[in-house]
Amino acid sequence: MGNKSRSASLFYESTPKSDTTPFQLPFKTSLLGNSGPYFNSSKRPTGRAISILTATLPDFFKLGLVTRFDASTSTSPFAFVEAVHPSPDLIYARNIRFRYAPPGDEGVFPRVLQIEGLPLYFASAAVVRTSLNALYSDMHVSLNSVEVLTHGAREREIKIGFIVGGSSRVGGGKAEWDILGTYRFSPTSGLINQHDVNSIHPAPHSTVYNAFQRSLEKLGLATPQPVPRVDIRKTNPST
């Protein structure tokens, strides 16, 4: 019999867990239970990552990426970083890959956006946060679904659905996006090694997407888009 994927939906907990507090799912499930090897303690990489992601994503536009729990910090229980040299006890793998395939025609969204490596992942997150905070006020994130998927004995991923919203600084109009993302865990280390944005509704306008691309290119985080080549053939004038 082949391995079958298993899933369990859960609500996120708003109170972060410390390194000494067991990580507990908000309800018991026959698929994962509260005593599984990856989800019974925040000391486990996967359980710690799930706890940190679900507890801190709502504050992304205030704090940025939260990479690890620091129980020794008195002012804030989280240590967050958007730096080239992150802390070694983080929840992301150093070779993490990010991928977003925009919808639409090739002429509007020219290619899939892919980023590889921890420094570029952090830097791109900083670009997203600062750019949207510049365009919109009161930016916020609201989680509406969390689903843990198990593929086989050690392969796991978590799908997180959330709403990103804010008010335009020009005109004050409300803006809102419904986003679904998938975080995949390394079967060996338990760290997040793949982050896919599955969908954004409504899809980002081409001007927003292109502006983000240009920001990454200025920082050296993305390859500039190729300039279309136009072949001009010279013809001899008729005699």
Q: Domain segments of the chain: what residues? A: 9-218
SS3 (DSSP) at 65: coil
**Which residue type occupies 32?**
L
Task: Name the average pLDDT for the chain.
Answer: 71
Residue 212 confidence class, pLDDT cut points 50, 70, 90: confident
Helix or strand run (H / E) with residue 192:
strand 192-201
Check residue 207 and give its pLDDT. Answer: 63
Bridge partners of 182, per DSSP, are 159, 196
Check residue 60 and give its pLDDT. Answer: 94
Note if the pTM is more than 0.85: no
Residue 151 confidence class, pLDDT cut points 50, 70, 90: confident
Check residue 221 and give its pLDDT. Answer: 61
Six token digits for residue 118? 């921890």
| Span 72-125, pLDDT tens digits | 443 444 444 444 444 555 899 999 999 988 776 554 555 678 889 998 899 889
Q: Between 71 and 199, name the one with better pLDDT.
A: 199
Most confident of 67-81, 167-181, 198-212: 167-181
Least confident residue range of 67-76, 154-163, 209-218, 219-228: 67-76
Six token digits for residue 183? 């975080």
In b/e form, how buried is each residue of 133-168, taking b as 16+ CB within 10 angstroms? Answer: eeebeebbbebeebebebeeeeebbbbbbbebebee
**Range list of H helices, 57-152:** 60-63, 118-135
Check residue 9 and give its pLDDT. Answer: 37
**Which residue type occupies 237?**
P
Say whether pLDDT at 216 is over 60: yes
Check residue 109 and give its pLDDT. Answer: 52
Residue 237 confidence class, pLDDT cut points 50, 70, 90: low
SS3 (DSSP) at 138: strand
Check residue 140 and give its pLDDT. Answer: 95
| Residue 203 CB coordination number (10 Å) | 15
Torsion angle, alpha carbons of 29, 46, 178, 211, to 10: -170
